Structure 1
C-alpha cells in the first residue's frame, strides 16, 4: 500500500511529490553554474536535500559537463574518515568506470598511496583508504581533488556537502575548517554547495566573523513553501487517487502545521487515509488525532529531560508570547528572570526543540507544538 500513497515524506521528494521552489531552484542553479559557492541554511526537514537533488538532476540533464557529488558528513566522525570518504565520492562522481578511478587516483596523488576496496558492484561499492600519517602531511592532495579533476576533464564538479555542521564535532574542528577554507577558496573550476539540518550551528559557522567559513560564498535562508502552493498540491494528489478535498480544507491541512514541508505531506497523508470519498472537517480532525497518538510517547519523552523553567518557557512560546524577557511574561509563566529565560532558550535550541525564525522564537516541530498545547497542557 505504501507505494500507492499520494504523499511523500521521510525520503527524498522527487517528480510529482516536489512542490514549487521555482525561485530557489533558479537562484541556486544560477549561482552554482557561475561557480559561486552556496550555503543553504534552514531547519531540519524543510527539503534541502530534495531541493539539491532536483537541481542536480536538472543541471546534469541540461549540461553533461556538470557533475554533482553528494558527500553526507553524517557518515564521518573525524578528520581521517572525512578525507577517505571525500576522496572516494569525488572519484566515483567523476569517473563511471572503476578501472579509470584507479588509474587517475595514482596520477593525482603525488605523495599518497591509496588502497582501493570493491564490493559486488565495483562501480557503486568503491572506497579509498589512505595512510593517515601521509594524509596529515599532504591533506591538500585530497582537498584539491575536485579542482584538479574539473580542470583535467574540462568539467564542472559541484560538491554538495550535507550535514556540514558535523565537522564541529571533530577534534580541532577550527583547525580543520581552516584547512578546508584555505584549499577550497582557491578553486576556480569547481564549486561547493553546503547545507545542514542544525540551523543554529550552521549559522555560527558561516555568519560569525571569527570563523574560517565566514563569507565563503552566497548564504541563503530557505523559506517555507507558500500555503497557496500546498493547497493546489493537496487537491491534485487527492484527485489523482479518486478522492476529493476542497481548497479550503487543503489550505487548512497546511496551515495546521505551519506550512512545514515534511509535516504538510505527513498530515495530508494521514487525512487521506481517513477519507473514503470526500474530505471534510471530521477527516482532518481524525488524521491529526491519529498522528498525535502516534507520536504521544516520543513527545512525552522529549519533555522528560526538561527543567521546570524550560517547560514554562515552552508554554510561553506555545501561547505565542512575543516578549519572553518582559516582566509581565516572566511573572505570568514563572520564568524567574531574564537571565534564566536566555539560559532556557539556549538549552531548548541546543536540544532542537525551538529555534529562531525571522527574529521570532518558534517550535521546530509544529506537530509537537499542537500536542504540547492540546494534550500535555490540558
Structure 2
C-alpha cells in the first residue's frame, strides 16, 4: 500500500481546484509540508508528489481514507481495484487480506469493486471458506461483449479519426477474435493502421495473418515448456474431446489419470 492509493482516491473524489487542494491538506497534510500544482488546464488535471520518508501516513489511515472522505463530503464512493488476484503475491497475503477486510467491512459509505482476469484465483479468494474474503460480497461473472456492441464501437472509433469501416467488416473482426476484448481491439488497431480512408476485407485478412504470425512465435515458446502429455491433452481439447476419462481417449492421446486429475 503506497501513496498512489491515497492520491488516486483524492483525485477521483474531488473535481474543483480549491476543494481538491483543501482535501489534500486535510487528508494528506502530514505527508508533505506543501502541495505544488505543475499544470492547471481546462481538463482540471493535477499531479503532485508525495514523499513518505520519515513522516508517514499510517497503514490504517490509508485504508480508511475512502470512508473518511465519503463521510466528510456526504458522497458515496466506489473504489475499483483491477487484477485483485495479485494480492496473493504479497508477503504474507492472508494477513494482508485479513487487514483489508477488517477495515473495508466497516466502510458503510464505500463500495469496493474488485475484479481481475484470473477467474480461478478470484474464486479461491472469495469462495474458499478458509480465506479472509470468503462471502465478502456478490460475485458477477462478465459475459462476452455482444457482437453488435463491438460493431458499434469499432465503427465509431474509425469514424472519429476520419476513417470508414463497414458494419460487416466490424463483425468480421469480432468473429475472428471470438469477441475477446484484448484481441478484438488489437486486430481493430492493426486494421486501422493499414487503412488510409476506407477499410477493406483484404486489409482485415492481412492484419489477422500478421497477428497470428506474431502470436505463433509466442505460443511455440509456451509449447516448448510443456510435457508430451500436456501437449496431447491440448490436442484432445482442440479435437473437441469432452470425456477425458474414457479408455478410448486415454489410449488415443496417450493420457493418464494422473495428468487428468492435475488439470
TM, length-normalised to structure 1: 0.57
1:338 counterpart = 2:261: no
Match of 2:100 among 180, 188, 199: 180
Between the aligned partners of 1:179 and 1:129, the Cα distance in structure 2 is: 21
1:102 counterpart = 2:19: no
Match of 1:308 among 212, 228, 234: 228
CA contact (8 A) 1:207 1:215 kept: yes
CA contact (8 A) 1:117 1:128 kept: no
Q: Residues 199-278 of structure 1: matches in 2 within 5 Å?
A: 199-234=119-154, 241-245=162-166, 247=168, 249-273=169-193, 277=198
Gaps of 5+ in 1: 1-81, 107-112, 346-378
**Structure of greater relative contact order (alpha carbons < 8 Å, 6+ residues apart):** 1
Aligned twin of 1:44: none
Aligned residues: CA RMSD? 3.2
Between the aligned partners of 1:340 and 1:153, the Cα distance in structure 2 is: 56
TM, length-normalised to structure 2: 0.78
Q: Residues 28-67 of structure 1: matches in 2 within 5 Å?
A: none
- CA gap of 1:304–1:164, structure 2 versus 1, over 3 A, is same
Match of 1:129 among 20, 39, 52: 52
- CA gap of 1:128–1:202, structure 2 versus 1, over 3 A, is farther
Please tell me whether Structure 1 or Structure 2 has the larger radius of gyration of its CA atoms: 2
Between the aligned partners of 1:104 and 1:244, the Cα distance in structure 2 is: 49
**Deviation of the 1:150 alpha carbon:** 1.3
Of 188-197 and 97-106, more deviation after overlay is shown by 97-106
- CA gap of 1:327–1:94, structure 2 versus 1, over 3 A, is same
- CA gap of 1:149–1:233, structure 2 versus 1, over 3 A, is closer
CA contact (8 A) 2:150 2:174 kept: yes
- CA gap of 1:304–1:142, structure 2 versus 1, over 3 A, is same
**Deviation of the 1:340 alpha carbon:** 0.6
| Partner-residue secondary structure (3-state), 1:225 | coil
Aligned twin of 2:6: 87
Aligned twin of 1:279: 200
Of 145-154 and 89-98, more deviation after overlay is shown by 89-98
- CA gap of 1:86–1:116, structure 2 versus 1, over 3 A, is farther
Between the aligned partners of 1:290 and 1:208, the Cα distance in structure 2 is: 42
1:166 counterpart = 2:86: yes
Of 116-125 and 249-258, more deviation after overlay is shown by 116-125
- CA gap of 1:114–1:318, structure 2 versus 1, over 3 A, is same
- CA-to-partner distance for each residue in 1:248-296, whole Å, 9 max, x for gaps? x44332122111122122223334555675623x444322211122333
CA contact (8 A) 1:115 1:130 kept: no
CA contact (8 A) 2:192 2:199 kept: no
| Partner-residue secondary structure (3-state), 2:71 | helix
**Deviation of the 1:184 alpha carbon:** 0.8
Between the aligned partners of 2:222 and 2:34, the Cα distance in structure 1 is: 41
Between the aligned partners of 2:209 and 2:99, the Cα distance in structure 1 is: 50
Aligned twin of 2:241: 321
Gaps of 5+ in 2: 40-45
CA contact (8 A) 1:161 1:194 kept: yes
Match of 2:213 among 262, 269, 293: 293
Q: Which has the higher strand share?
A: 1
**Deviation of the 1:99 alpha carbon:** 5.8
